[in-house]
Copies of this chain bind each other. A is one copy, B any other.
């Protein structure tokens, strides 16, 4: 006996996290639309939101409802990260020049940090967290939500 699949089910099943995003991040939690990841680079507290929708490259590829959700979730994450870190400035960006799967960066910046006041993208080599440090930060983020 076959299983009935609606086009809607097939579309949802097709979402999967790009392996390059998975490889250099730690999972934090799943929000409504997005999965939230911590980039494994201790130079800056750096979060990444990935809308759990297949085949999205640009924010304007999302439905209007998903666009509104993404904006809401990005702002939530920005506020949480600013509160948790006491940072000087939040930097957000959606580039996708290397990994095309739609993803939004939210980074806590401080005066004098690596490449300040330049951008975080494309600057030098990642400095991975010690395992305990990443898990400690992730725990505090989960509590802050």
Contact = CB atoms under 8 A, between A and B. Distances in A.
A85 B70 CA distance: 25
A57 B89 contact: yes
A78 B93 contact: no
Q: Which of A97, A98, A115, A122 has the most CB of B within 10 A?
A: A97
Number of copies: 2
Dominant secondary structure of chain A at its interface with chain B: mixed
A71 B89 CA distance: 19
Interface string A90-107: 111111111010000000
Nearest to A96: B89
Contacts of A75: 59-60, 67
Interface residues of A, number: 33
A11 B75 CA distance: 23
A31 interface: no
A109 interface: yes
Interface string A43-68: 00000000000000111100000011
B94 A79 contact: no
Contacts of A109: 97
Interface string A18-44: 000000000000000000000000000
B71 A67 contact: yes
Interface of A: 57-60, 67-68, 70-72, 74-75, 78-79, 82, 89-98, 100, 109, 115-119, 121-122
